[in-house]
Amino acid sequence: MAPILGIIASSISGSISSNSFESIATVTVGSGGASYAEFTSIPSTYTHLQVRGMLKNSSNDGILMRLNSDTGSNYSAHYLYGNGTSAFGDNSVPTSYFYLASGSTSVQPSAFVMDLLDYANVNKYKTGRILSGTEVNGSGSYVWLFSGNWRNTAAVSTIRIYPNAGTLQQYSHFALYGIKS
Amino acid sequence: MAAGSTYTPIATTTLSSDSNTVGFNTISGSYTDLIVVCNIKSASNGMELYMRLNSDTGTNYSRTILTGNGTSASSARNSNSTSMRLAYETTGTDSGNWSTLFIHLMNYSNSTTYKTVLCRAGDAAKELSENVGLWRSTSAITDISISGVNSFNAPYLGTGSTFTLYGITAA
């Protein structure tokens, strides 16, 4: 379909096409906890991926992600974060994982929304952006904004999410979606 | 892997007059996450955006914010609040300045955890912000109210403001 240039938004009928955002798979952690959550055999039929997560872990340490089981120092990240008192900017270059979120050991879960752009394109490195946060009604709360890069041209077919220390706790929930263009 | 279309529009409100609050009621528990997309004009100087869930007016809300105003970045916190503060706007009644908000209510219908909310907000004339909020209740969210003032009883939400609720269902 050719784009319609200069279209007036109010003339568009309906709303966002519900056919362009598809649920692919979900991982829910059971009563025994889990050392990681993983999506495998991700089809290359979408344009972008989105992972939405809500989690608790047994440690306050960070929640990390690796693509296609790559454990090399092929990732980098720049980020902004706030702790309720001050704002900070920093980077991790290079590193061996994507950083997704801060951890939460209590009843207050951490949450994140990650967009992984052009994940199946074999001609470019992969870029992701992440909004995440942990709110505990006081000190120990964090809100994060990350930009991450994986220096590999392979299509992303596996996503593993894991805590830097400890285990993912029961009721942690991760959902993978595909976005078509 | 299972697959299915989602990101379903549930309800939309466009204000025909300045209003105290906008609400979505009797929300089905059949989705995984909710997203509220807002485009808001201030009807009064000093508007701030607040959200209440299930009409809870207790001190059960908190949030942490990361803000940039074009000059510097900062962070602040509100704890034990009677509503969840989402964003700040003080561009008065200038009809050219609209705030945009994407509010993510994660796993809103589970009955085992407190509810975490992520919010991206921006007002090009003022600031942009990222928020994480918490509602300390394990109840499923069935009602969402948004106001332009913490008291929820003054018409700070301007005419023409739009609010759309979407549901996302995981496989």
Question: What confidence tier does A60 reach under pLDDT thresholds 50, 70, 90?
Answer: confident
Task: Give the gap in angstroms from C-alpha A172 to the nearest C-alpha of chain B.
Answer: 10
Collapsing DSSP to helix, strand or coil, B20 comes out as coil
Task: Give the gap in angstroms from C-alpha A16 to the nearest C-alpha of chain B.
Answer: 8
Sites in chain B below the pLDDT cut of 50: 1-2
Give the pLDDT confidence of A100-117 residue by residue, as tens digits. Answer: 998 877 778 999 999 999
Beta-bridge partners for B52: B145
Whole-model pTM?
A: 0.91
Task: Give the gap in angstroms from C-alpha A167 to the nearest C-alpha of chain B.
Answer: 17
Look at residue B96 in the predicted model and tell me its pLDDT. Answer: 63
Q: Is B136–A137 a contact, with Cβ atoms under 8 angstroms apart?
A: yes
Complex ipTM tops 0.90: yes
Q: Are B13 and B22 in contact (CB under 8 A)?
A: yes
Give the pLDDT confidence of B111-155 residue by residue, as tens digits. Answer: 999 999 999 999 877 889 999 999 999 999 999 999 999 999 999
Instruction: Answer yes or no: CATH 2.60.120 is held by domain A20-179.
Output: yes
- Is B26 in the A-facing interface, judged by CB distances under 8 Å? no
CA A105/CA A107 separation, integer angstroms = 7
Residue A9 pLDDT > 60: no
Look at residue B91 in the predicted model and tell me its pLDDT. Answer: 58
CA A87/CA B110 separation, integer angstroms = 32
Token readout for A31 is: 């009563």
Q: Return the H-helix or E-strand segment holding B134.
A: strand B127-135
Length of chain B: 171
Look at residue B171 in the predicted model and tell me its pLDDT. Answer: 81
* Three-class DSSP labels, chain A: CCCCCCCCHHHCCCCCCCCCEEEEEEEECCCCCECCEEECCCCCCCCEEEEEEEECECCCCCEEEEECCCCCCCEEEEEEEECCCCEEEEEEEEECCEEEECCCCCCCCEEEEEEEECCCCCCCCEEEEEEEEECCCCCCCEEEEEEEEECCCCCCCCEEEEECCCCECCCCEEEEEEECC
Q: Is B170–A109 a contact, with Cβ atoms under 8 angstroms apart?
A: no
Chain B positions in Cβ-Cβ contact with residue A18 (cut-off 8 Å): 5-9
Q: Are A56 and A167 in contact (CB under 8 A)?
A: no
CA A137/CA B61 separation, integer angstroms = 8
Look at residue A16 in the predicted model and tell me its pLDDT. Answer: 46
Residue A40 pLDDT > 90: yes
Dihedral (Cα; B15, B20, B24, B26), 10-degree rounding? -130
- Is B45 in the A-facing interface, judged by CB distances under 8 Å? no
Look at residue B99 in the predicted model and tell me its pLDDT. Answer: 87
Chain A positions in Cβ-Cβ contact with residue B66 (cut-off 8 Å): 80-82, 87, 143-145
Q: Are B42 and B167 in contact (CB under 8 A)?
A: no
- Is B139 in the A-facing interface, judged by CB distances under 8 Å? no
Look at residue B95 in the predicted model and tell me its pLDDT. Answer: 58
Q: Is B77–A133 a contact, with Cβ atoms under 8 angstroms apart?
A: no
Give the pLDDT confidence of A97-156 residue by residue, as tens digits. Answer: 999 998 877 778 999 999 999 999 999 999 999 999 999 999 999 999 999 999 999 999
Q: Domains of chain A: which residue ranges?
A: 20-179
Q: Which of A81, A131, A173 sits opposite B107 (nearest CB)?
A: A173
Q: Are A156 and A120 in contact (CB under 8 A)?
A: yes
Residue A17 pLDDT > 60: no
Interface test with B, best of A143, A145, A169, A174 (most B CBs within 10 A): A143
Look at residue A161 in the predicted model and tell me its pLDDT. Answer: 98
Give the nearest chain B residue to A19 (CA atoms). Answer: B5
Task: Give the gap in angstroms from C-alpha A93 to the nearest C-alpha of chain B.
Answer: 22
- Burial status of residue B8 (CB atoms within 10 A of its CB: 0-12, 13-18, 19 or more): middle
Could you name the CATH architecture of B8-168?
Answer: Sandwich (2.60)
By percentage, how much of chain A surpasses pLDDT 90?
81
Q: Which of B1, B33, B107 sits opposite A25 (nearest CB)?
A: B1
Task: Give the gap in angstroms from C-alpha B162 to the nearest C-alpha of chain A.
Answer: 12
- Is B59 in the A-facing interface, judged by CB distances under 8 Å? no
Return the number of other C-beta atoms located less than 10 Å from residue A143's C-beta. Answer: 30
